[in-house]
Amino acid sequence: MAASLATTAATSSAASDPVKIGIMLPFSGIYAQLGEAGRDGLKLALKEQAADLHGANIEFIEMDTEAKPARAPELASAMLGQHEADFVIGPVHSGVAMGMIKVLRGKDTVMIIPNAGAAAATGPLCSPNIFRTSFSSWQPSYPMGKVALDKGYKDVYLISWNYGMGRESLEAFEESFEAGGGNIVKKVLMPFPSTNFQPHISDIAAQDPDAVFVFFAGGGAIKFVKDYDAMGLRGKIPLLGSGFLTEGTLEAQGDAAEGVLTGLHYAEQLDVPKNQAFREAFNTEYGHYPDIYAVQGYDAGLAIADTLNQLSGDVSDKQAVISTMEALTINSPRGDFTFSRAHNPVQNIYLREVKDGANVVASIAAEALEDPARGCKL
């Protein structure tokens, strides 16, 4: 059974039902660090905003999803039935998100997705009670097609893993790149989680495209970038990607990542006043600086806090909760964002270039970009 933990973050002298926040994130397995970052960001936001919660008692219920999609319906059902959570925060993994949505869609409980980018969550499976404070898979990659065109790249080679996030990321790049007259030389979808990149990098060298666009993350991103450099392509054929190629991976990639261009809705050195304050507060609270996963969790906490503030701490009217949250402007470390009709962030996507081991913001690749939410009937 999932481990549960209940803690009270804000107290009131008035007797009232607690506002229950269910946290469904991975706290064990390969995504544990991402889950912990999201939870820590969430709790920091609610701690900072405690004075604006109108005395609401906040109760956290934590469940470890282990990033296993098969467990998602059971855990979501427990959050809904046993714990009667007002908000459910999660998950990291898109497969887990699909399992959660099957249970939570259309219910009174508000689900806030702090990472999973699956298009369906705010597309065909959109629902009034489902929000996202992260990104759709489309958002970081779509602007990179225009970036490539603006740099004069006419022939681009695409490669990723053959799973949802990989396919959707390549398709988003294709959409904007081909609309502007670009040509896809080749599109490779590798079995997940294979990291046998050498044959494909050799093929890239043989094809000699103007540039390469990829989606890889984590260990796969580290190995692809290092293999690309080791096989002599860095500096010869520009490497572009969705921002997760160099997010949390730069230290391990080392010099091999220098010059890589990526698109993402955040960068650690982003010159936004809220970002600097957030980073210092997070470091003071937890002893290390935050990453994008902490930002997305923090913004989920801000969404809850801002909603509670406007409703004087009363979440009993669930339609009022949804209507209030829909109209919010979140003062995020990534820059202010609002929610689209499908409840996906309308946010800036930044063009980042790796310089001296850091993702340096070169420009805004797309301002206030709204996911098209194809298939959403809201």
CATH number of the domain at 204, please: 3.40.50.2300
Question: For 183-206, what is the mean pLDDT?
Answer: 97
Q: How many CA atoms lie within 13 A of 134 on its CB side?
A: 33
Residue 30 has pLDDT above 90, yes or no: no
pLDDT band per the 50, 70, 90 thresholds, residue 62 = very high
Q: Which of 265, 233, 279, 269 is nearest to 357 (CA)?
A: 269
Which stretches within 151-187 are classed as H helix? 164-179
Q: 212: which residues sit within 8 A by CB, 6+ positions away? A: 156, 157, 158, 159, 204, 228, 233, 237, 238, 239, 240
* 241 and 311 assigned to the same domain: no
Q: Are strands 110-113 and 130-132 parallel, antiparallel or unpaired?
A: parallel
Under 8 Å between Cβ of 361 and 350 = yes
The pLDDT confidence band at residue 15, using thresholds 50, 70 and 90, is very low
Residue 275 lies in a domain: yes
Lowest average pLDDT, out of 2-11, 53-62, 173-182, 362-371, goes to 2-11
Say if residue 282 is in the same domain as residue 315. yes
The residues, any chain, with a CB within 8 Å of residue 269's CB and separated by 6 or more, are 358, 359, 360, 361
For residues 104 and 165, membership in a common domain is answered with no
pLDDT the model gives residue 7: 39
> In 10 A of CB 162, how many CB atoms?
12
- Mean residue pLDDT across the chain: 94
Q: Is residue 73 part of a domain?
A: yes
What is residue 327's predicted lDDT score, i.e. its pLDDT?
Answer: 98
Confidence band of 16 (pLDDT split at 50, 70, 90): confident
Q: With respect to residue 40, please indicate whether it lies within any of the assigned structural domains.
A: yes
Do 333 and 353 belong to one domain?
A: no
Q: Is residue 159 part of a domain?
A: yes
Q: Are residues 102 and 86 in the same domain?
A: yes
Q: Which residues contact 82 (CB under 8 A, 6 or more apart)?
A: none
Range of the domain at 185: 138-264+349-369
Average pLDDT over residues 137-146: 98
Judge if 189 and 315 occupy the same domain. Answer: no
Q: List all residues 6 or more positions away from 32 whose beta carbon is below 8 Å from its beta carbon.
A: 26
Under DSSP, is residue 303 helix (H, G, I), strand (E, B) or coil?
A: helix
First to last CA, the chain: 35
Statement to judge: residues 254 and 215 lie in one domain: yes
14 has a pLDDT exceeding 70? no
Tell me the pLDDT band of 158, cut-offs 50, 70 and 90. very high
Q: Above pLDDT 90, what percent of the chain? A: 93
332 vs 10, more confident: 332
Tell me the two tokens of residue 321.
Answer: 């909760």
Q: Does residue 121 register a pLDDT over 80?
A: yes
Structure tokens belonging to residue 74: 């059971």
Residues 302 and 239 grouped into a single domain = no
pLDDT on residue 378:
86
**CA torsion angle for 224, 369, 112, 322 (degrees, to 10)?**
-170
Give the residue-averaged pLDDT of 289-298. 97
The answer to whether residue 288 sits within a structural domain is yes
Tokens of 307: 């909603």
Residues 155 and 198 in one domain: yes
- Return the pLDDT at 60: 98
The answer on 111 and 78 residing in a single domain is yes
In a domain, 4, yes or no: no
Q: What percent of the chain has pLDDT over 70?
A: 96
Q: Are residues 222 and 357 in the same domain?
A: yes
pLDDT at 5 over 60: no
Whether residue 274 contacts residue 282, with contact meaning beta carbons closer than 8 Å, is answered with no
Tell whether 177 and 202 lie within a shared domain. yes
Over residues 230-240, mean pLDDT: 98
By C-alpha distance, which of 332, 328, 370, 331 is closest to 349? 370
Q: Region of 235 please: left (phi>0), alpha (psi -120 to 50) or beta.
A: left
Instruction: Please tell me the distance from the alpha carbon of residue 275 to that of residue 262, in angstroms, as a whole number.
Output: 20
**7 found inside a domain:** no
Q: What's the domain count of the chain?
A: 2
* Cβ pair 195, 126 in contact under 8 A: no
Q: How far does Cα 17 stand from its chain's mean position?
A: 31
Kindly compute the dihedral angle of the four CA atoms of residues 373, 160, 293, 91, in this order, to the nearest 10 degrees: 60
Task: Say whether pLDDT at 12 is over 60.
Answer: no
Amino acid at 127: S
Q: What local confidence, expressed as pLDDT, does residue 151 receive? A: 98
HSE-up of 65 (CA within 13 Å, CB side)? 35
DSSP conformation letters of 236-270: TS-EEEEGGGSTTTHHHHGGGGTT-EEEES--TT-
Q: How would residue 4 be classed by pLDDT, with cut points 50, 70 and 90?
A: very low
In a domain, 320, yes or no: yes
